Structure 1
Amino acid sequence: MTSEIGFVLLILILMLLGLVFEITRPDIILFFTLSLLLLSGIITTEEALKGFSNEGMLTIALLFIVAASIQKSGIADRVIRKLLGSSNSIRWTLFKILTPVTAFSSVLNNTPIVVTLTPILRKWCADHQLSPSKFLIPLSYATILGGTLTLIGTSTNLVVHGMLLDAGKKGFSFFQIGFVAFPAVFFGLLYIILFGYKLLPDHKDLLDKVNEHSKEYISQMEVDADFPFLNASVETAGLRRLKGLFLIEIIRKDEKVSPVKSTTIIREGDKLIFTGLISTIAELQKIKGLQLRTDSDFSLDMLKNGNTQLIEAVVSHHSSLLYKKIQDSNFRSKFDAGVIAVHRHRERIKSKIGDITLKPGDTLLLLCGPDFDKKISQSNDFYVTTPLKTPSLLEDQRKGLLSLFLLLTMIMLVTLNILSMLKAMILLVILLLLLKVITPEEAIKSLHIPVLLLIACAFGIGTALLESGTASFLAGGMVHLAKPYGILAVIGVLYLVTNLLTEIITNSAAAVIMFPISLEMAQQIGIDPIPLVLAITIAASASFSTPIGYQTNLIVYGPGGYKFIDYVRIGFPLNIIVMLSTILMIYTFWI
């Protein structure tokens, strides 16, 4: 092993540790990794930047725009609402939901599908006295499985397709990955619907659980006539930065003031609603003129009025709030919302709200003002998992149907080899803009720059593995380990390593790291690289055993009230089903 290979391996290990322990956002970790490889001379400037012009990455960017035009129409959620019906059978309901969801996910980004359908499923479960925890992980898994059916089903497929083209090889056809993946999808769905859901817990909805124990989250103090700061602002009264507590709302007769601003005036008779470390409420009782209220019938729902909503939201992988304290993020003015509680790994973080540092997957319980809907529509900071008062307009529905028709037309042109995938998506986005189905502003907002930065940087890292000889070194070790047991074992080892990586880091990063290794393995054993590339493509998407490997798994983590072990319990058998099916298909038709 040369010193250059040793250096690249060290950088790669540090990158993996940074991703596993969530030191900062994934795109920033990969950007620093790429920068180190560039500055050390491992790769040239051209090689470092090649990912930013890669056909797969550019196609993903265009697909974000297409997905946004369809998503805002509400087509998917209208279909699911009609299919849900009134049946109380979990198995039959799962069949009715997961089948169309899998189909939708084969041509649309799975993240907005899960975000859109999560609140719909939770409300339906509440109406039918069923646990949402029986449905949300299956929803995530169905979108992941559906993404393997076509070239555009997931960013991973397009990333690997782009790398094949960069390597001078023929990229995937539109349904080539799906041909291999279809049996895995079929048997995977069958497992989830018939047996898998039984392995999931029967948890109550988080909002219901919080309402049952509302005294652990909120406390009331009433302002008497002898309060020394009557008719003064919240800031002047010293109620803005309290030890362990946060003033979330003021109830004044029939009026509810929320979110509370620093300039809000305190009046006699006001009921001050605090959240945070309720155990520290004794400190407030020492203030003259503040009396603790212990109404037994007070609940979180009583905080709502005509202009406010109780909302549950999940912090995204690419949020600008990540690794910042809530008090430093200007949260209240940025979103017109106050944070009542933060849950992480199904447990409430018992700390002063402002001192909590947010991480991906954190579930926030928010009391939102009238401008919340508008402000969150301009942000990718978190996914709202409770219904918002934003009905889809008829005009948006028509535009969504037009978007879907145009997308299917482009898919047909790509399948018939009339257009390349990139050219088809360029033409489709131009048509969407010309027909005013989506505005330029909406198109720019839909691009998800952190995701694109992560993918583009990953390309450069993959090039460094190849050019430095690190990919050849790692491939040699894997071939040496597996070759004595036959080609089936070689495919199996490659699949397992890729699958392990995708469970602990992002799927696109796992695919890019393993792509050059798969090429080197194919060369060393003397076979066509396509079967090995197909193996890593499907393995990189098949993240079922942890909540952190795939974004949709993390989205449903908090709303479903799951524990880490729940993903292992239902996901590990699904990993085995997909792996065995994929390996056997590849071995049967390509080897």
Structure 2
Amino acid sequence: MIEAPSFHATAAMILTVIVFVAFARGRISVEIVSLLTIAMIAVFLYFYPLPHSMATDGLALAFAGFGHPALITICSLMIMGRGLVVTGALDPTARILERVWKFNLQIGLLVSLLLALGLSMIVNDTPVLVLLLPIFVALAQRGAMPASKTLIPLNAAVLIGGMATTIGTSTNLLVVGIAVDLGMPQMSVFHYTPIVLAAALVALPYLWLVMPRLLPDNSTGEVISQRRFFTRLRVTGRSELAGKHFDEITDSLPDDFRFEERPNGTFEPGQRLLISGTHDGLEDAMRVLRGQVAPAWVTDRISREAKALGEDIQVVEMVVTADSRIVGRTLASSGIADHYGVAVLGVHRPDRFIGNRPSPASEEIRFAEGDVLLVTGLSDGLQNFANGDSLLQLEGAKLMPRRSKAVLAACIMFAAVALASIGLPFFGEQGFYMLKVPIAISALTGAILMFLTGCVKFDRVGRALSAKVIVLVAASIAIGRIVLDSGAAAWLGQVLAMGLADLSPAFVLAAIMLFVTILTNFASNATAATVGTPIAFNIATQLGLPQEPLILAVLFGCNLCYATPIAYQTNMLIMAEGNYSFADYLRTGVPLVLIMVTTLSILLVTTYGM
């Protein structure tokens, strides 16, 4: 007969249910629920300490999440991801995937899911998601599916791939290690891979076709990407246009860019042609065509000053007011570059004034009241331009990528991923071997290098981090600790073992996997692995069942963490980028959990003849 749970175990289970309901209902913000959870645990354990502990130990348990390696890892990975974005290091990969997405959105999503699944089999799943996350955010900004419709499916594909090998996640290594300590033989890297891949084939249609439809479109339309700017393109001697006919370059032009006038023959150096496009379209066209929309001496001076002062180059939109000095003037006659050291990249003229075209193609563009100018420069120069010439600066300034550090940022990220997944070459008394480096250490090292090399600046780090994710991680760690330390997890395991005694082997296996899945979604992977592995081993011994399939049921259950954002660190990494709510994870994750539990249970029963 199982004894009733202790006072602390009962309180821990009640608290877990209350917190889950609060998250799921969504009436109170995630940050407030998380902070209240930490506060309740701290106060409760201060007045009612755990056995053999002091009142202050409860405070340490409640607030331990803020210094936990998992939180440090997540913050470090966010910083490194920010470094890849602000340096433009991922632009080449994004453009390749963009071509696939432009061909067909559904095929693009399928290719992306397969890529994520395959990479996470051989590289730890957290670095894989960190590598792909900014790419998919950039793709969403370029017109692919909204990030809120792709990131949860992408994360699920990464988690499924990570489950397929013993090196895919740290949880897999933990389960296998505990099993070896209990007397089971060591599993090879691909010991159970066919089982997971078969289950992935069953789950893939849901990830690909159903899950995006269940997710909301949380994207916010950026005004800057909707406006069409007109400007003059100067063909330079090193331009890709020089000596070519228009028909030869049409295929390389971005969709949101066009020539408003074309040469009669070939493009010749020195020609200035009227073009138009969105901000991103103009930027892509300049990269591909290697022409100029602003005088080289201005852009070069801005780059030199930015490097000397250690500032970022910005691109902002400014509206010309009726009192502005530049009304009626052309860019050449306004002297903007000489006066303020900024460059006007293009002019957008709203339809309510004179239609889309700013002026006839044969004339220079003249500024008019209501025009929106796309201007680049340093912050002081932009501010002086706005104040001095009576322009209204719009919100949403965009930082230009520091492309000179793109290769450096990519190398730092690659090194951090390699350290976490492969290890560090090391010569010791036993000869040459690969020293495994924890993901927390490799990610923290990478974040520090991002700061030291200037890929990410200290005053910009706030943009890389999410307060919601930070407090949510801290609260989930505190819940996992009290569930484990109070004995609640052990008591639940005993109840499970007693309830499975009279079931068939197939149902025993499925019940263990489902139990561990629930535990991992509300506590942590480590807690689920630590509690579930010995329970499964003992149940197999007591009931005379093969031990390996039950241990694999625990391993698989620890990875089925799709239903809540607190279940795994990658779930939290995508929460801010996708602007997800707790309910989004429940709505999409619960069906996937049921699909995977059912499929994996059947495959294990069939494979091991149970």
- TM-score interval for Structure 1 and Structure 2 normalised by the shorter chain: 0.5 to 0.7
Aligned to 1:221: none
Q: Alpha-carbon deviation of 1:65? A: 4.3
Deviations 1:140-197 (A, max 9, x none): 302332145349x9xx955897899999979x9996899475544454335544x548
- SS of residue in 1 equivalent to 2:561: helix
Q: Structure 1 stretches of 5 or more lacking a match?
A: 126-131, 213-248, 256-294, 309-335, 337-367, 374-388
- Name the stretch that deviates more: 517-526 or 9-18: 517-526
Q: Alpha-carbon deviation of 1:138? A: 4.0
Aligned to 2:35: 28
Structure 2 CA distance for partners of 1:35 and 1:402, relative to 1, 3 Å: same
1:412 equivalent in alignment to 2:422: yes
- Given the alignment, which residue of 127, 140, 149 partners 1:108? 127
Work out whether residues 510 and 601 of structure 2, in 8 Å CA contact, stay in contact via their aligned partners in 1: yes
Inter-partner Cα distance in structure 2 for 1:440 and 1:556: 20
Aligned to 2:410: 401
Q: Alpha-carbon deviation of 1:9? A: 2.8
Aligned to 1:537: 558
Aligned to 1:81: 95
- Given the alignment, which residue of 1, 4, 7 partners 2:11? 7
Work out whether residues 321 and 370 of structure 2, in 8 Å CA contact, stay in contact via their aligned partners in 1: no
- Given the alignment, which residue of 489, 492, 496 partners 1:471? 489
Aligned to 1:92: 107
Deviations 1:263-290 (A, max 9, x none): xxxxxxxxxxxxxxxxxxxxxxxxxxxx
Inter-partner Cα distance in structure 2 for 1:203 and 1:458: 27
Work out whether residues 451 and 457 of structure 2, in 8 Å CA contact, stay in contact via their aligned partners in 1: no
Aligned to 1:233: none
Q: Structure 2 stretches of 5 or more lacking a match?
A: 227-317, 325-351, 356-368, 376-382, 384-391, 426-432, 542-546
Q: Alpha-carbon deviation of 1:399? A: 1.6
Structure 2 CA distance for partners of 1:391 and 1:486, relative to 1, 3 Å: farther
Deviations 1:65-119 (A, max 9, x none): 4444444444445313223327543433323433345567735374784465245
Deviations 1:469-525 (A, max 9, x none): 3222222333344443345434433444565678xxxx5745466456525633652
Work out whether residues 188 and 577 of structure 1, in 8 Å CA contact, stay in contact via their aligned partners in 2: yes
- Given the alignment, which residue of 140, 156, 167 partners 1:121? 140
**Which amino acid in structure 2 is aligned with residue 41 of structure 1?**
P
Work out whether residues 116 and 154 of structure 2, in 8 Å CA contact, stay in contact via their aligned partners in 1: yes
Inter-partner Cα distance in structure 2 for 1:51 and 1:458: 8
Structure 2 CA distance for partners of 1:10 and 1:201, relative to 1, 3 Å: closer
- SS of residue in 1 equivalent to 2:496: helix
Aligned to 1:217: none
How many percent identity over aligned positions?
A: 14
Structure 2 CA distance for partners of 1:205 and 1:577, relative to 1, 3 Å: same
Inter-partner Cα distance in structure 1 for 2:21 and 2:558: 23
Aligned to 2:344: none
- Given the alignment, which residue of 408, 411, 429 partners 2:446? 429
Deviations 1:218-275 (A, max 9, x none): xxxxxxxxxxxxxxxxxxxxxxxxxxxxxxx9996488xxxxxxxxxxxxxxxxxxxx
- Given the alignment, which residue of 532, 547, 562 partners 1:518? 532
- SS of residue in 2 equivalent to 1:108: helix
Work out whether residues 478 and 490 of structure 1, in 8 Å CA contact, stay in contact via their aligned partners in 2: no
- SS of residue in 2 equivalent to 1:405: helix
Structure 2 CA distance for partners of 1:92 and 1:166, relative to 1, 3 Å: closer
Inter-partner Cα distance in structure 2 for 1:419 and 1:11: 37
**Which amino acid in structure 2 is aligned with residue 189 of structure 1?**
L
**Which amino acid in structure 2 is aligned with residue 522 of structure 1?**
A
Deviations 1:353-389 (A, max 9, x none): xxxxxxxxxxxxxxx955644xxxxxxxxxxxxxxx4
Aligned to 1:228: none
Inter-partner Cα distance in structure 1 for 2:321 and 2:137: 35
Aligned to 1:271: none
**Which amino acid in structure 2 is aligned with residue 89 of structure 1?**
N
- Given the alignment, which residue of 42, 46, 62 partners 2:50? 42
TM-score with structure 1 length normalisation? Answer: 0.53
- Give the paired residue count: 421
**Which amino acid in structure 1 is aligned with residue 482 of structure 2?**
A
Work out whether residues 414 and 424 of structure 1, in 8 Å CA contact, stay in contact via their aligned partners in 2: no
- SS of residue in 2 equivalent to 1:124: coil
Higher Rg: 2
Structure 2 CA distance for partners of 1:576 and 1:427, relative to 1, 3 Å: closer
Q: Alpha-carbon deviation of 1:574? A: 4.0
Q: Alpha-carbon deviation of 1:35? A: 0.9
Inter-partner Cα distance in structure 1 for 2:493 and 2:88: 46
Structure 2 CA distance for partners of 1:483 and 1:419, relative to 1, 3 Å: same
Inter-partner Cα distance in structure 2 for 1:72 and 1:175: 36
- SS of residue in 2 equivalent to 1:306: strand
Aligned to 1:141: 153
Work out whether residues 84 and 96 of structure 1, in 8 Å CA contact, stay in contact via their aligned partners in 2: no
**Which amino acid in structure 2 is aligned with residue 461 of structure 1?**
I
Aligned to 1:306: 373
- Name the stretch that deviates more: 486-495 or 550-559: 550-559
TM-score with structure 2 length normalisation? Answer: 0.52
Query: CA RMSD for the aligned pairs?
Result: 5.8
